[in-house]
Amino acid sequence: MYRILLLFALLSISICGQAQLTLNNVTLPAKVSYHEETLVLNGGGIRSKLFFKLYTIGLYLPSKSANVSAILSSDEMLAVRFEITSDMINSDNMSEAINEGFDKSTNGNTKTIRTRIDHMLKTFSSEEIVPGNVFELVYVADKGTEIYKNGLLKTTIQGKDFKKAVFGIWLGENPINSSLKKDLVGN
């Protein structure tokens, strides 16, 4: 009986260490894989504005970290995965939100990455955005930031400076929401 209880306890610990996270009826998987590399869920949260829960987002890293500076400056793969949960989000206001996020992330210094931001905006506005859409932004060293919609690669935007700016929207010194940043890095 002791061995069975011990085995059950060890299995419980193992499963808990790899737990997915469910927020706002959206399940963020414990692990995701891109280009044969597995990333783990670092943290997740809900992007809200006023009373609207706009999307649920998870941050994925090679290993868990609360060091935002290291995450943003690293050349390792990382990803955010977010699911639209509100019909308040459409292509137009998504573009406004992206521009606002880049302005905050770069302290208004978007000049050097403006053409790449515009390319990203075209990617988001090229198809209707509806609740249930899942977007993934994946930084791949020596390739750039890949943008996926519902599992399909839409574009890749080059540059580590772009990576730092785009992920800085949620993790930078001036994020779009400081409590969401804390949720993503586990603080």
Q: What is the CATH number of the domain that holds 40?
A: 3.50.70.10
**Count of structural domains, the chain:** 1
Residue 134, beta-bridge partner list: 83
Answer whether residue 109 is part of any domain: yes
For helices 178-185 and 160-171, the axis angle rounded to 10 degrees is: 110
Q: How many Å apart are CA 106 and CA 34, to the nearest integer?
A: 27
Answer whether residue 8 is part of any domain: no
Q: How many Å apart are CA 69 and CA 160, to the nearest integer?
A: 14
Answer whether residue 4 is part of any domain: no
Domain that holds residue 101: 20-185
pLDDT tens, per residue, the chain with 187 residues: 444 433 444 444 333 445 899 988 899 999 999 999 999 999 999 999 888 899 999 999 999 999 999 999 999 999 999 999 999 999 888 999 999 999 999 999 999 999 999 999 999 999 999 999 999 999 999 999 999 999 999 999 999 999 999 999 999 999 999 999 999 998 6
Q: What is the pLDDT of residue 5?
A: 38
Q: How many Å apart are CA 102 and CA 117, to the nearest integer?
A: 8
Q: How many Å apart are CA 3 and CA 173, to the nearest integer?
A: 50
Where residue 151 falls (left for φ over 0; alpha for ψ -120 to 50; beta otherwise) is left
Query: Cβ contacts of residue 168 below 8 Å, gap of 6+?
Result: 72, 105, 106, 175
Answer whether residue 172 is part of any domain: yes
3-state helix, strand, coil in the chain (%, to 5): 40, 30, 30
Answer whether residue 83 is part of any domain: yes
Q: How many Å apart are CA 106 and CA 117, to the nearest integer?
A: 12
Q: How many Å apart are CA 136 and CA 21, to the nearest integer?
A: 17
